[in-house]
Amino acid sequence: MAGQKLSIQQKLLQKLSPQQIQMIKLLELPAIQLEQRVKRELEENPVLDVDDNHREGEEREEEDKEPKEETDTDISIEEYLNNEPSYKYKTNNYSKDDKKEDIPFSIGSTFHEYLAEQLGLVRLNEREQALAEYIIGNIDEDGYLRRDVESMVDDLAFSMNIEVSDEEMTRMLNVVQELDPPGIGARDLHECLLIQLKRKEYQPEAVENATSIIENYFNEFSKKHYDKIMQRLVIKEEELRDAIEEIMHLNPKPGSSYSSPSSRNNQVIIPDFTLEIIEGELQVYLTRGNIPDLRVSSHYASMLKAYNENKKNQSKEQKDAITFVKQKLDSAKWFIDAVKQRHQTLLLTMNAILEYQKDFFIEGDENKLNPMILKDIAEDTGLDISTISRVSNSKYIQTHFGIFPLKYFFSESMQDESGEEVSTRRIKRILQDIIENEDKHKPVTDEKLALILRKKGFPIARRTVAKYREQLGIQVARLRKLL
């Protein structure tokens, strides 16, 4: 048997404490998610309590400051292509005389329910009804059927044990495509536009030309090869312009034209910071919202103290209770410290950004933005770059000229002809202004854009112009051309 040997090894390991992990997670949360996180912690930890006295004192101070008043979703084709008292919140505190009424809640039908309702007006047998409803179930929110007939036939055979031919499925798809809004059930943009054009009751020459363009020359139309289209259709430029105008009035996402309260997905932005100018000085505040001030419950703290003073003759249940309360007390203290540290870190970072971009925050002029990267703020605050990145992610600030994400203020730099460092955001803004004011009949190419920028004092290459243009979501000159 081999003898045992003891050895000493020195290793460098990076470990994060539970407090550090909690702090990192809280830093990433915007104001609305922090509010939800605090509420969940209050529910899970009985030792954690709300400091009502501190909040009421702040509210009274705010009330004293304020003067008291006397009491008495369509996208275009071109874009597509390219008062109760507090005791009543507790259980068993309602009087028998209190009148409780259920308020009916009304909500509209969904997009798919709207299509199914129309299907009920079509004369179909039970089998056809089932097939049509299956097709409707596969239509996405934009109104497109993103599956081919063959795959749906296979699914019906394997999952629902329904034998159906491709011809029968295609016939039922045509029935679904007759529903409103026009274009529903199309498998691609080409088919969607064609359905809408063919559904037009009045067919003037412009609609006929538009139908021919989409049906036979869709690829040339999407790439704006107008000369080829005029040559092959033997039409004049004015006729082509009328046909394109008809196409531009179509809806590339027919499902988006259906509006219902149940299908709305509006994103509400709650700013994490509020900027005010007081006596010419910039002041930034954290948005508190409904986030309460936290404290450790005095009841549980005194309970633990009483147990510790009478350690003798304690039963096993009492010892388990002491252990539970102590764990919850430690967890509550850690969470309170983490929330406080989060507030301090956010304010420290935001004040550093404020100082770096002072001219912009005073005037609101994008040209006043200075080049700034995460490393610059990290050096000013003494924090790590990863911490600055977490603070700036998903956070917003409300100013007197709009709400901005913190990432908006970070940009790279380049030198102009005088050697001065300028923000790339400023160059992008100039580039966007040039393109917006160009002659759409003769749009400016990337080479000419680079030449114009050089004359303005920004020596950048054509490929850099193309990169900035793509970042701005602007198409190449050929696709920006209008007749």
Over the stretch 432-470, which tens digit does the pLDDT of each residue have? 888 888 887 888 888 888 888 888 877 888 888 888 888
Question: Per residue in 393-409, pLDDT tens?
Answer: 888 988 888 888 888 88
User: For 23-28, what is the mean pLDDT?
Assistant: 79
* Polymer length in residues for the chain: 483
**Residue 376 corresponds to which tokens in the numbers above?**
């610059």
> Do the Cβ atoms of 241 and 213 come closer than 8 Å?
no
β-bridge pairing 402-405 and 413-415: unpaired
pLDDT greater than 60 at residue 152: yes
Check residue 69 and give its pLDDT.
Answer: 42
Asked if pLDDT for residue 225 goes beyond 50, the answer is yes
Confidence band of 472 (pLDDT split at 50, 70, 90): confident
Split at pLDDT 50, 70, 90, the class of 336 is confident
Could you tell me what percent of the chain has a pLDDT over 70? 78
Mean pLDDT in residue range 301-325:
71
- Dihedral through CA 17, CA 19, CA 21, CA 27, nearest 10? -150
The DSSP secondary-structure symbol of 312 reads T
Neighbouring C-beta atoms of residue 176, cutoff 10 Å: 22
Q: What value does the mean pLDDT take over residues 121-140?
A: 85
Task: Tell whether the model's pLDDT for residue 227 goes beyond 70.
Answer: yes
Domains of the chain are 111-257 (no CATH), 273-409 (no CATH), 413-480 (1.10.10.60)
Confidence band for 332, pLDDT divided at 50, 70 and 90? confident
Pairing verdict, β 396-399 and 273-278:
parallel
Cα gap 377→384, rounded to integer Å: 9
Q: How many CB atoms lie within 10 A of CB 31?
A: 21
**What's the pLDDT score for residue 434?**
85
Give me the pLDDT at residue 439, please: 81
pTM: 0.55
The beta-strand segments (E) located in 319-434 are 396-399, 402-405, 413-415, 421-423
For residues 94-105, give the mean pLDDT: 45
Q: What are phi and psi of 367, to 5 degrees?
A: -70, -15
Instruction: Round the average pLDDT of the chain to a whole number and report it.
Output: 77
CB 391 within 8 A of CB 377: no
What token pair was written down for 451?
Answer: 């030449």
Residue 139 near residue 255, CB atoms below 8 Å: yes
> What is the DSSP code (8-state) at residue 229?
H
Q: Among candidates 24, 105, 34, which has minimal Cα distance to 270?
A: 34
pLDDT tens digits for range 167-185:
888 888 888 888 888 888 8
Number of other residues whose CB lies within 10 A of the CB of residue 17: 9
Tens digit of each residue's pLDDT (9 = 90 or more) over 233-287: 888 888 888 888 888 888 888 887 665 444 445 567 788 888 888 877 888 888 8
pLDDT band for position 483 (cuts 50, 70, 90): low
Pairing mode, strands 421-423 and 396-399 = unpaired
Q: Is the predicted pLDDT of residue 189 greater than 70, yes or no?
A: yes
pLDDT value, residue 98: 44
- Has residue 342 got a pLDDT over 60? yes
Residue position matching structure tokens 């090894």: 9
Q: Strand runs (DSSP E) across 440-482, as ranges? A: none
Give yes or no for residue 72 having a pLDDT over 50: no
pLDDT value for 386? 87
pLDDT at res. 335: 85
E strand or H helix at 276, and its extent? Answer: strand 273-278
- Residues 239, 240, 242, 243, CA torsion sign: positive
Contact at 8 Å (CB) between 132 and 124? yes
Asked if pLDDT for residue 419 goes beyond 70, the answer is: no
Q: In what order do the strands lie in the sheet with 402-405?
A: 281-286, 273-278, 396-399, 402-405
